[in-house]
A and B are shown apart, each in its own frame.
Chain A
Amino acid sequence: MARTLSVSELVDEVGANLAGLESVWDGSMSDAYAFFRHQARPEVALAATLVESAVALQDLGRTAPDPPRLLLGDLCLARASRLLADTHDTELQVAFAEAVERIAAQAAGGPAARDLRELLVAAILGRR
C-alpha cells in the first residue's frame, strides 16, 4: 500500500468483521491494522490485528484482566480464527495458531517466545 489509510477508511475496509468489537477499535488497533495491511490482504491483516488486540486486552503474561476484557479478548481470537479459516489457507492458520501458542505458553511461565508482532509477520510471510 502506498499510503496510510485513515481510520474511517480502515473501518470501512474491515466492515462487518468488527461487529461486537467496535468498542476495542482504537488508535492502536488502527496503527496495527495499517502496519499489517502493508504485509497482507485485509482479512489477514485484520486477523493479525485482532490477535495483537486479544493479547493486549487480556494483558497476557501480566495481571489477569477483568472478565469483560477477557471475553472481548476471546472474541478477538475467535474472530481472527474465523477470518483465517475463511481464507482456506491451512499453512497460514497453523502459523497463526503456533504464534498464539508460543505467546500463551510464555505467559504461563513456559519457554521464552519472540515478540508477537515478529511471529505474526513471519506467519504472514510464511517464514515461521
Chain B
Amino acid sequence: MISALRLDVPTSSATEFVDITARLQDAISTAGLRDGQLHLQSLHTTLGLTVNENEPLLLGDLQAMLERVAPRAHAYEHDDLTRRTGVGPGEPRNGHAHCRHLFLLPACTLLVEAGRLVLGQWQSVFAVELDGPRKRQLALQMDGDFDANAGGVAHDRPDRELVELELARQLLVDPEPVREPMQRLVEAGGKRLRPLLTMLSSRLGTQDDPLRAAALAAAIELLHHATLVHDDYVDQAATRRGRPTVAAHEGAARAVAVGDYYFAKATRIIAQLGNPDVSSTIADAVETICLSQMDDVRLRGMYPGDYAAYLRVVRGKTAALFAAACKAGAQLGAASTGVVERLQRFGDLLGIAFQMTDDLLDYSVSSGKPLGQDIRQRTVSLPLIYATEDVRYGARVRELLAGPLEDRDIQEVQELVGATGALERVGEEARGVVAAALRELEEIALDGVGPQLADLANSTVDRVR
C-alpha cells in the first residue's frame, strides 16, 4: 500500500531551516504507517532537505556557511535577466539560492519503525528555504505496513476539516501584521486536540450544530495559540514546532500585540455565540491559565519543585483549557448538567495526562521537540521531580540542576533521569490518568462519539516511544 500527500511549508525568511520532524511524524501517525519508509521530495529548485541537529547556534553556523559558499551579493550569470530567455515579470534574482541548493538534498527517504520515524538522538528533519519567504510544498509518499484501521483518528476527519476551515476563515479577515505570524503558528501543525474535544462534546446534548461548534472550537484553538505566543516570549523560546516563534521572528513587542489580538478575537467569537454559560466557562479557564502562568514563573525559583506544585501548575496552565474545551462544547450542545460535569472532569484528566506525556517528549529522540529543552529552560517537569527523589541519583540530579546547565550537564541530567526509571514511571502514570478520564465517560450516553473520544484520549499519551 502506498499513501501519498503534499505537505505545505510556508516560510518566513530568505534563508530558513524549518524543522518538519513533528509534521512528518503527524503524517505517519495519521496515515497509520507502522513499518516502512517515508519518501520526501522537495518540489522546488531553491528548497532543499537535510537531516541535522536543531540547535539554534548551529543553524546560524549553517546559514553562515551557505552564505560563504554562495554569497548573495556575488554576481551570478543566472541573475542577468537580459541574457535569459523566457523570463517573466517578477523573476527573482536567486542565483545564489540555486548554487546553495547543490549542497542540500532534493529528496530523501526516512525509515519508520513501530509507527515512529527512525532518527538518532540529535537528528531533526529540515526543509531548507534558500530564497524565501515563499509558500512551499513537499511531496510525501509512504510505503510499508499500515494499521488495519489506517488513519488512526481518521473518523474525526469531518470534524477536523470543519475546524481547519473555520480557522482559515477566521484568519483570512485579520490584519496582515497579526494574521501572518498566527497563520505560521497554526499551520505548523498540531493534533487540534482541544477543538476536536469541543466538537465531540457538542454532540452530547440536544442541540447538535456543527457550524456553531466549529466556531467555538476554532476560537478555543486561537485562544490556545494566543497563550503560546506570550508563553514563548516569557520562555525566550526561539522555535515552536520547528518554526521561529513570533517573539523570535517578529520581535517581542509584536508578539505581545499578536497574543492580545487573538485573545480578544477568541473571546469575541465566543461571545457572539450568545451562550452565557459557554462565555463564562472560557473566561474562567483563561483566568485560571493566567494565574497559573504567574505561579509557574514563580516556581522556577524553586526548580525543580514538588509533585503538588507540579499538579497545581499543570491543572491551571494545561488542563484548564482541555476541561473548558469539553465543558463548553457540551454546554453549547445543551447537554445535561451531569454530562457537562463529567466531560469537564474528563478534560481535566486528559490535560494532565497530555502534559505528563509532553514532559516525556523532552527525552524522546523522535518527538520533533529539541531534546532537553525543558531542562534548559528550567521548566517544572514530572520526570525531573521523580528523578530528584531517587535514592541513587537524586542528589547528583539536584546538584546539576542547581548549576549553570551547560550542554554536557543537560545530557548528564537526561541520562540520569533515564537511569532512575522516572520516564517509565511518568508514562505509566499518564496512562493511568487517561484510564481514569475514560472512566468518567462510562456513565454517559455517548451517542456514537465514544470511540472518537477514546481515540483522542489515547492519542494524548501515544505521542512518545
Tell which of B279, B294, B297 touches A85, judged by Cβ atoms closer than 8 Å: B279
Sort chain A's interface into a size bin. Answer: 35 or more
A71 touches B293 (CB 8 A): yes
Contact present for B268 and A78 (CB under 8 Å): no
A81 to B264, CA, bound (A): 9
Q: Contact between A97 and B274 (Cβ–Cβ < 8 Å)?
A: no
| CB <8 Å contact, B291 and A20 | yes
Interface membership of A74, Cβ < 8 A:
yes
Q: A75-B287, A75-B294, A105-B178 are in contact. Are A94 and B264 (CB under 8 A)?
A: no
Whether the pair A60, B256 counts as a contact (CB closer than 8 A) is: yes
- Among B26-34, B196-204, B246-254, B418-426, the one that faces the other chain is B246-254
Contact A74 to B175, CB < 8 A, known contacts A101-B261, A104-B257 = no
- CB pair A75–B233 under 8 Å, yes or no, is no
Does chain B have a CB within 8 A of A70?
A: yes
Q: With A85-B280, A101-B261, A105-B175 in contact, is A70–B233 under 8 Å at CB? A: yes
Which residue, of B257, B258, B291, has the highest number of chain A Cβ atoms within 10 A? B257
Contact partner of B289 (CB less than 8 A), chosen from A54, A78, A103, is A78
Within 8 A of A (CB), among B257-298: 257-261, 263-265, 267-268, 271-272, 274, 276, 279-280, 282-284, 286-287, 289-291, 293-294, 297
Query: What residues on B are CB-neighbors of A101 within 8 Å?
Result: 261, 264-265, 268
**Segment of A5-13, A37-45, A107-115 engaged in the interface with chain B:** A107-115
User: In angstroms, how far is the closest chain A Cβ from the Cβ of B378?
Assistant: 13
Pick the contact of A109: B177, B233, B279, B282 (CB < 8 A).
Answer: B177
Closest to A60 in B: B257
The yes or no answer to B255 lying at the interface (CB within 8 A) is yes
- The interface residues of chain A, by DSSP majority, are classed as helix
B271 touching A70 by the CB < 8 A rule? no
B153-195 vs A, Cβ < 8 Å mask (1 yes, 0 no): 0000000000000000000001111100000000000000000
Instruction: Let me know if A107 and B253 touch, CB within 8 A.
Output: yes
Interface check B234, CB cutoff 8 A: yes
Asked if A110 meets B175 with Cβ closer than 8 Å, knowing A65-B256, A88-B276, the reply is: yes
A73 CA / B230 CA spacing, docked (Å):
11
- Shortest beta-carbon distance, B157 to chain A, in Å? 31
Contact assessment for B283 and A74 in the assembled complex, using a CB-CB cutoff below 8 Å: no
Say yes or no: A94 contacts B272, CB within 8 Å: yes
Contact indicator A74/B230 (Cβ below 8 Å): yes
A residues less than 8 Å from B293 (CB atoms):
71, 74
Q: B residues within 8 A CB of A60?
A: 256-257, 260
State in angstroms the CA–CA spacing of A99 and B261 once bound together.
10
A85 to B273, CA, bound (A): 12
B327 to chain A, nearest CB (A): 14
Chain B residues with Cβ below 8 Å from A78 are 283, 286-287, 289-290
Minimum Cβ distance to chain A for residue B291 (Å): 6
Complex-state Cα separation, A73 to B297, whole angstroms: 15
CA distance A103 to B263 in the complex (A): 12
Tell whether, in the assembled complex, residue B260 and residue A82 are in contact, meaning their CB atoms are under 8 Å apart: no
The answer to whether B260 and A104 touch across the interface, beta carbons within 8 angstroms, is yes
Determine whether A86 belongs to the interface, using a CB cutoff of 8 Å to chain B: yes
A108–B287 touching, CB < 8 Å: no
Q: Whole-angstrom distance between the alpha carbons of A60 and B251 in the complex?
A: 13
Total number of A-B contacts with CB less than 8 angstroms?
A: 137
Interface size for chain B: under 10, 10 to 19, 20 to 34, or 35 or more residues?
A: 35 or more
Query: Which positions 285-334 of chain B face chain A at CB distance < 8 Å?
Result: 286-287, 289-291, 293-294, 297
Say whether A104 contacts B233, CB under 8 Å.
no
B233/A108 in contact, CB under 8 A: no
Check A104/B261 contact, CB under 8 A, given A67-B234, A74-B230.
yes
CA distance A2 to B271 in the complex (A): 33
- Name the one of A71, A88, A108 contacting B258, with C-beta atoms under 8 angstroms: A108
Q: Which residues of the other chain, B, contact A72 by a CB distance below 8 angstroms?
A: 294
Q: How far is the CA of A79 from the CA of B263 in the complex (A)?
A: 12
Min CB distance A48 to B, Å, is 14
Instruction: List, in ascending order, chain B residues with CB within 8 A of A31's CB.
Output: none
CA distance A54 to B260 in the complex (A): 10
A29 on the interface (CB 8 Å rule)?
no
The residue from A62, A77, A93, A99 contacting B271, defined by CB atoms under 8 A apart: A93
Contact B256 A58 (CB under 8 A): yes
Q: CB-nearest residue of chain B relative to A74?
A: B290
Which residues of chain B have C-beta atoms less than 8 A from A81's C-beta?
Answer: 263, 267, 283, 286-287
Can you list 11 residue pairs at the A/B interface with Cβ under 8 Å? A20-B294, A62-B253, A75-B291, A77-B264, A85-B276, A90-B279, A93-B279, A105-B261, A108-B258, A110-B177, A111-B175
Q: Footprint of B on A, CB under 8 Å?
A: 20, 54, 58-65, 67-68, 70-75, 77-79, 81-82, 84-86, 88, 90, 93-94, 97-101, 103-105, 107-111
A sample of 18 more A-B contacts (CB under 8 A), given A64-B233, A94-B268, A108-B261, is: A61-B253, A63-B253, A70-B234, A74-B290, A81-B267, A81-B287, A84-B283, A85-B271, A85-B282, A90-B274, A90-B279, A93-B279, A97-B267, A98-B264, A100-B261, A103-B260, A110-B176, A111-B175
